[in-house]
Amino acid sequence: MEQETEHIKCLIIGSGPAGYTAAIYASRADLKPVMYTGMVPGGQLTQTTDVENYPGYPMGITGPEMMENFRKQAERLGTDIRYGYVSEVNFSSLPHKVIIDGIKTVLADTVIISTGASAKWLGLASEQKYSGFGVSACAVCDGFFFKGQDVAIVGAGDTAAEEATYLAKLCRKVYMIVRRDEFRASKAMVQRVLNTPNIELLYNTETKEIVGDGQSVTGVTVINNESGDEQTLNITGFFVAIGHKPNTDIFRGIIHMDDTGYIKTAPGSTTTNIEGVFCCGDAQDHIYRQAVTAAGSGCMAAIDAERYLAAKEHIVTA
């Protein structure tokens, strides 16, 4: 059976805040964008309950509801949103060749990558059970909901140290669970943690189980690797800060990335090392990782794509 082939101006891969914002701007620029949502339409925000730090929602909004609003706006402006995933790419010539679901070929004049990143988890069943109900992978997003309460955070790198000190400003007490007998964080970040009186460090400690009442988190059982002693900490919030993995494996060896897989873009833009391919959102941002910064970079990607196409048309017609 012959593969179906389609030629489009602008292909958007991924459907979080970055992808939907890129779609809104690309639609208004008459790029007639086609979006493939990926396996998790709406991205990480669909696994978040309340969002209170995105401008324009004075009473807050749930993550899934916000992503539904983004989707409706992109669709209303003309984006062709399709459920499917990219199984293969060939960026060696123009237009770019992208295979969808292993069967359909799309030829795209421009490609906007907004595949996002996924939080790394400990792999506990209780962690997924209480995700969004006391378990979070983003202290900046969710710390506010635990104001004046006792919480725990697991991790030993710069992000964990930064998030622990952030939580310490809001929460009564922060238990910091460190698997080894030392941090992986920089000296400056470690010093900041050590100088914060309401952070209690638990070295050589692993998380055994997150405890809850069926609706929300009530504690966490930890085990000391040296003594084997177990204890249950009474907490209402459990934060996982062991890193994120960008969803960029399919582009490995094709697009320039850093050691952890974040796509490299030119400073102040969304352009990659491949002509006509742009990247926005958490697939290229390992620093901020917020919905609002992702949306901002999605806007940039659409404008970059529009200007790229306009320049090409000018060269062709000149």
The string of DSSP codes covering 139-155 is HHHHGGGGTTSEEEEE-
Task: Report whether pLDDT(51) > 90.
Answer: no
Q: List the catalytic residue out of 10, 30, 101, 142.
A: 142
Q: What is the mean pLDDT of residues 51-63?
A: 90
Residue 42's pLDDT is 80
Residue 1's pLDDT is 42
| Residue in the structure block whose two tokens are 């000391």 | 224
Instruction: State yes or no: is 142 an active-site residue.
Output: yes
**pLDDT > 90 fraction of the chain, expressed in percent and rounded:** 80
Task: Report whether pLDDT(317) > 60.
Answer: no
Q: Are residues 125 and 226 in the same domain?
A: yes
5 forms bridges with which residues in the sheet? Answer: 105
Residue 271's pLDDT is 98
Q: Which domain holds residue 291?
A: 5-118+244-317
Return d(Cα 132, Cα 250) in angstroms, integer: 29
Give the tens place of pLDDT for each residue, 111-130: 999 999 988 899 999 999 99
Task: Report whether pLDDT(316) > 60.
Answer: no
Categorize the per-residue pLDDT at 186 as very low, low, confident or very high, splitting at 50, 70 and 90.
confident
Instruction: State yes or no: is 171 an active-site residue.
Output: no
Q: What is the mean pLDDT of residues 274-303?
A: 96
Q: List the catalytic residue out of 10, 109, 138, 280.
A: 138
Q: Are residues 262 and 300 in the same domain?
A: yes
Q: Are residues 235 and 125 in the same domain?
A: yes
Instruction: State yes or no: is 259 an active-site residue.
Output: no
DSSP result, 150-200:
EEEEE--SHHHHHHHHHHHHHSSEEEEE-SSSS--S-HHHHHHHHT-TTEE
Q: Are residues 197 and 294 in the same domain?
A: no
Question: In the listed set 206, 224, 240, which residue is the last one of a domain according to the structure?
Answer: 240
Categorize the per-residue pLDDT at 41 as very low, low, confident or very high, splitting at 50, 70 and 90.
confident
Q: Are residues 220 and 232 in the same domain?
A: yes
Q: Are residues 105 and 39 in the same domain?
A: yes
CATH number (domain holding residue 65)? 3.50.50.60
Q: Are residues 137 and 191 in the same domain?
A: yes
What's the distance, CA 75 to chain centroid? 22
Task: Report whether pLDDT(261) > 90.
Answer: yes
Q: Are residues 14 and 97 in the same domain?
A: yes
Give the tens place of pLDDT for each residue, 141-184: 899 999 999 999 999 988 899 899 999 999 999 999 999 998 88
Which residues touch 202 (CB under 8 Å, ≥6 apart)? 175, 176, 177, 178, 222, 224
Which residues touch 116 (CB under 8 Å, ≥6 apart)? 14, 16, 18, 43, 44, 246, 247, 281, 282, 283, 294
Q: Are residues 100 and 30 in the same domain?
A: yes
- Cβ-contact 154, 207 below 8 angstroms: yes
Residue 217's pLDDT is 97
Torsion of CA 199, 243, 41, 134, to 10 degrees: -20
Question: In the listed set 240, 255, 288, which residue is the last one of a domain according to the structure?
Answer: 240
Q: List the catalytic residue out of 10, 109, 141, 282.
A: 141
> What total of structural domains would you count in the chain?
2
Categorize the per-residue pLDDT at 318 as very low, low, confident or very high, splitting at 50, 70 and 90.
very low
Q: Are residues 182 and 267 in the same domain?
A: no
- Cβ-contact 7, 111 below 8 angstroms: no
Q: Are residues 67 and 85 in the same domain?
A: yes
Question: In the listed set 186, 215, 240, which residue is the last one of a domain according to the structure?
Answer: 240
Q: What is the mean pLDDT of residues 99-114?
A: 96
Q: Are residues 129 and 23 in the same domain?
A: no
